[in-house]
Amino acid sequence: MASANILKQKARLSNSNILFLIAAVIFVLMYLFAIISYPASFMQFQTFFDLFNLNAPLLIMTLGLCIVMIGGGIDISIGSVCGLITMACAVYLQSESGSIGGAILIALGIGIAFGILQGYLIAYLEIQPFIITLSGLFLAQGLLTTLHKDPINVTMPAFVRLRDFEFVITWLGTRNRLGVFIPCEIKPGTVLVVILLVILASLMKWSRFGRNVYAVGGNMHSALMLGVNVKRTIFITYVISGLTAGIAGFVYIMTTGAGNVGNAAGAEMKAIASAIIGGTLLNGGVGNLLGAPIGTLTLLVINELIRAAGVQSNFQAMVSGLLLYFFIVLQSIIMSLRDRKSIKLTLPPWLKLSDKQQVPSNQ
């Protein structure tokens, strides 16, 4: 009997995996609904790959943000940092001394610099993450407009070749109305998303650092008592977030080919929503990095469905907000059930019946 209980405990899925599976099932059902509703568009393999090709920067930022959120923090500066990097790279690439290698170093340097600054202030000076990253958001926006206010199209030949480069899958594709086979094309940014996903997911799953992040996010005081270097762990999560923002910035300019003050505007909110939909809790301690792309793709499929239906674009934000409400409530219910807590609907005082109005119980 005791051995059966042990096996049952081992077979019980973790909270992170449960929320990830729920997010994955919802995404699959939603994509199947899209295929059934608009087969001409969603039945094409290229449509699915374009979700990655056109949104690789958002996917990369979400990966870094998930690590911060699992550790119990938040980073709302990543969108502005990404936009600053796109402009800095554009200015540099259009200069006489510009080079692709130099632009990559600039992107990584700016991202890591923001990560180190914010990570130090949050981890070692123990300042609230929201306030620090909000300051980082304003700083990045100010630097962006100071650096250059007008759009810059990068015309450097080597960069244009890199921007237009695509991996062609010759054996996978669709036929057009004339019967011509069109192979699928994948951008370098999509390949980079897959590489980063494998590296960071492995880091969080099997490394000591990953276990420390979950421990700190779950209960910081307990982690401290277990010998975890809490401050260093939190610091590294923000450095990783800055690093992914730097990579996302270079991928962004590779995707658009231009620097603009509006680049990546609002991307931090989309990344937070994607992380939550993918199964990462705002409280910390629970999350699966494999859920980050699932959450992002769920939001993107919703937007594509609304666009295909010909509905006004303002409904995209409305539906995304409602979906976010749904996932937050769903996560709360699931966590309560798994912790064997009773779920109660709490009403405000003015909706409750007074003692005189309550119906007396039967004697």
Average pLDDT, the chain: 86
pLDDT at 175: 77
Residue at 7 is within a domain:
no
Residue 318, domain CATH:
1.10.3470
Task: For residue 120, give the amino acid letter.
Answer: Y
Residue at 247 is within a domain:
yes
Candidates 291, 286, 277; CA nearest to 20 is 291
Residue at 11 is within a domain:
no
Candidates 27, 71, 47, 72; CA nearest to 278 is 27
Residue at 202 is within a domain:
yes
pLDDT at 338: 66
pLDDT at 275: 92
* pLDDT tens, position by position, 103-152: 999 999 999 999 999 999 999 999 999 999 999 999 999 999 999 888 88
Q: 183, exposed or middle or buried, with CB in 10 Å at 0-12, 13-18, 19+?
A: middle
Residue at 358 is within a domain:
no
* pLDDT tens, position by position, 214-271: 999 988 999 999 899 999 999 999 999 999 999 999 999 999 988 888 888 889 999 9
Q: 307, exposed or middle or buried, with CB in 10 Å at 0-12, 13-18, 19+?
A: middle
Number of domains in the chain: 1
Q: Please list the ranges in the chain whose pLDDT falls under 50.
A: 1-11, 361-363
In degrees, rounded to 5, the angle at the alpha carbon of residue 59 between the alpha carbons of residues 16 and 14 is: 5
Report pTM. Answer: 0.88
pLDDT at 343: 53
Residue at 224 is within a domain:
yes
Which residues are within 8 A (CB) of 44 and not within 5 positions of it... i.e. 6 or more apart? 174
Residue at 86 is within a domain:
yes
**89 and 252 in contact (C-beta within 8 Å)?**
no
- Domain that residue 298 falls in: 22-338
pLDDT at 123: 95
pLDDT at 282: 85
Helix (H/G/I), strand (E/B), else coil: 358: coil
Residue at 49 is within a domain:
yes
